[in-house]
Structure 1
Amino acid sequence: MMKKELKCILISTVVSLMIVLSSVFGFEKFSNSFELLVVPIITIIYLWKVRPKAINFTFFMVFYTLGDLVWISGIEAKYDFFYYVTNGLFILGYVFLLVEIFKNINFKRVLIAHGLEFFVLIVLLIYMMYVLIKIVKPATFVTDYKLAVQILELIYNSILLLLLTSSVLYYIQDTTKKNLVFFLGCTLLVFSELVLIGYYYMVDDIRLSYVSTSLYIFGFLLLYYQTLMKKETVPFVSS
């Protein structure tokens, strides 16, 4: 198992470095295209190797892949259309991932055993949504449909925060190693998007984009890696 974990870390590191260094040395088009092909490649491997498959997680991977492929096809085309279609597919993918999580959460059990944690998570969710609204709402978008973009961004970011919150509940309900890897994958994926929001709307520092890319790659590879793990009957407790 340790060999698989090291392999996952090594692949994530190599892929991240290839994307970042390509951008640093001026191969921006290659870097962007390669980054957008990472999830489709992971999805193909997942569909080929993993048995049995969780149907909702499979839909998540497929719709996210479609979003990346649509964006690749429209990199040099009209921005608005491909922006809406791509983000719509991403949102649909995340909805299926949330359905998969909610399907496996016993909310009554979580509330009884972790009532305080549940309350704190809800408060943090509301606060983070408020902060994101304050960041995105005044942003200047190069589009004739500013309100539509703001609404789409709000929906997208709200789903990401809900994903982060629900993945925490999913893990604390059953603290197995598989659930921990799933939680870490979701967390890295969400934080990659939050860092990207900081880069787009707050601090124009390309290093934030590189950090976001690395978190994104590690997050998706962890989500794939957890599909290879067997469900444990004994809870995992870190030392």
Structure 2
Amino acid sequence: MMKLSRFNVVSIILVILVLLVAVGRIFVCPTLSNYSWIAIFPLFVYLYYSHVKDKNHLFGFFLIAFSIAEFLKIVFDTSNAMAYYFANILVIIAYIALIVFFVKDIKLKPLLKEFKIHIIVLLVFNAYIIYVLNQMIMQDEDISVYSLDFLIEVTYNVLILLVLSLSLIHYLYHETKPGLFLFLASVCIVFSEMVQVAYLFISSQQLLQVIYSSLMAVGFYFLYEYIKIKNNPPLSSPQALRR
């Protein structure tokens, strides 16, 4: 009988937890779905730190901070103001760590030489999306412009769009499979955050919450694939790690 590695055991547990989240969402059992949900993220931290040899602590910090933030959001809910602000600030710091992770892996001169048009298009796209997201936030009558809540939400939106843009630039710059998985993960996570903005400030329909959870789960699936590749790195190609 084949013996399962610890990586495979944790992978099976992750699949079971995702199924429990789905069952909880479908049959409206928030306790099952929520506590299964927050159990998922620490397992990613474990997989990364125990199975990836060439670890980057910025990426690891992103996983840790995100795990703690999701725990606070669910265990304390939004009724606890301190937990709410701490969770949001943690996610902001997590995204900043991810942004620095991308930036440190890119050299500026080759980037500007090869991707000047891409950067201009991304700047215009980001400016428009930030405007749309801010309009959505301002529909909430409880949030006033320049209040702490408003500033947190605007900062949050700017950072998630930076993550999306930099993950794309990082992939185009390196053209590696791990870079592709990071970009796909960023796409799913960022769009899940946008859906959450719509859920919080426009309509609290259960469908939006399901879409948010689904996109986040798919995003972390791509992060799982990224960790899996880093656990068993392929032979480097001529295009990889372009400088």
TM (normalized to structure 2)? 0.83
| Distance in 1 (alpha carbons) for counterparts of 2:13 and 2:192 | 18
Structure 2 CA distance for partners of 1:15 and 1:215, relative to 1, 3 Å? farther
Q: Is the 8 A contact 2:185 2:221 kept in 1?
A: yes
| Distance in 2 (alpha carbons) for counterparts of 1:145 and 1:132 | 14
Deviation of 1:133 after TM superposition, in Å, equals: 1.1
Q: How does 1:106-121 map to 2 (within 5 A)?
A: 106-121=107-122
Deviation of 1:85 after TM superposition, in Å, equals: 0.6
Q: How does 1:78-157 map to 2 (within 5 A)?
A: 78-141=79-142, 147-157=147-157
Deviates further, 214-223 or 200-209: 200-209
Uncovered stretches (5+) of structure 2, i.e. residues with no partner: 1-10
Structure 2 CA distance for partners of 1:234 and 1:13, relative to 1, 3 Å? farther
Deviation of 1:118 after TM superposition, in Å, equals: 1.2
Counterpart of 2:36 in structure 1 is 34
| Distance in 2 (alpha carbons) for counterparts of 1:145 and 1:161 | 21
| Distance in 1 (alpha carbons) for counterparts of 2:54 and 2:32 | 35
Counterpart of 1:164 in structure 2 is 164
SS at match of 2:53: coil
Q: Is the 8 A contact 1:16 1:214 kept in 2?
A: no
TM (normalized to structure 1)? 0.84
| Distance in 1 (alpha carbons) for counterparts of 2:213 and 2:14 | 10
**Same amino acid, percent of matched pairs:** 26
Deviation of 1:19 after TM superposition, in Å, equals: 1.3
Q: Which amino acid aligns with 1:218?
A: V
Deviates further, 113-122 or 18-27: 18-27
Structure 2 CA distance for partners of 1:80 and 1:144, relative to 1, 3 Å? farther
| Distance in 2 (alpha carbons) for counterparts of 1:72 and 1:209 | 13
| Distance in 1 (alpha carbons) for counterparts of 2:73 and 2:127 | 31
| Distance in 2 (alpha carbons) for counterparts of 1:233 and 1:194 | 35
Counterpart of 2:73 in structure 1 is 71
| Distance in 2 (alpha carbons) for counterparts of 1:53 and 1:125 | 30
Deviates further, 175-184 or 33-42: 33-42
Deviations 1:197-218 (Å, cap 9, x if unpaired)?
1222234431221121111112
Structure 2 CA distance for partners of 1:146 and 1:72, relative to 1, 3 Å? farther
SS at match of 1:114: helix
Q: Is the 8 A contact 1:60 1:96 kept in 2?
A: yes
Counterpart of 1:6 in structure 2 is none
Query: Alignment RMSD, CA only?
Result: 2.8
Counterpart of 1:60 in structure 2 is 62
Deviations 1:156-205 (Å, cap 9, x if unpaired)?
11110110111111111121111111110111111111112122223443
| Distance in 2 (alpha carbons) for counterparts of 1:196 and 1:92 | 19
Q: Is the 8 A contact 1:38 1:217 kept in 2?
A: no
Counterpart of 1:226 in structure 2 is 226
Q: Which amino acid aligns with 2:81?
A: D
SS at match of 1:228: helix
Deviations 1:90-134 (Å, cap 9, x if unpaired)?
111111111100001123212211211111011101111111111
Q: Is the 8 A contact 1:125 1:161 kept in 2?
A: yes
Q: Which has the higher contact order (CA 8 A, sep 6+)?
A: 1
Q: Is the 8 A contact 1:71 1:83 kept in 2?
A: yes
Uncovered stretches (5+) of structure 1, i.e. residues with no partner: 1-8
Deviation of 1:225 after TM superposition, in Å, equals: 2.3
| Distance in 2 (alpha carbons) for counterparts of 1:226 and 1:214 | 18
Counterpart of 1:5 in structure 2 is none
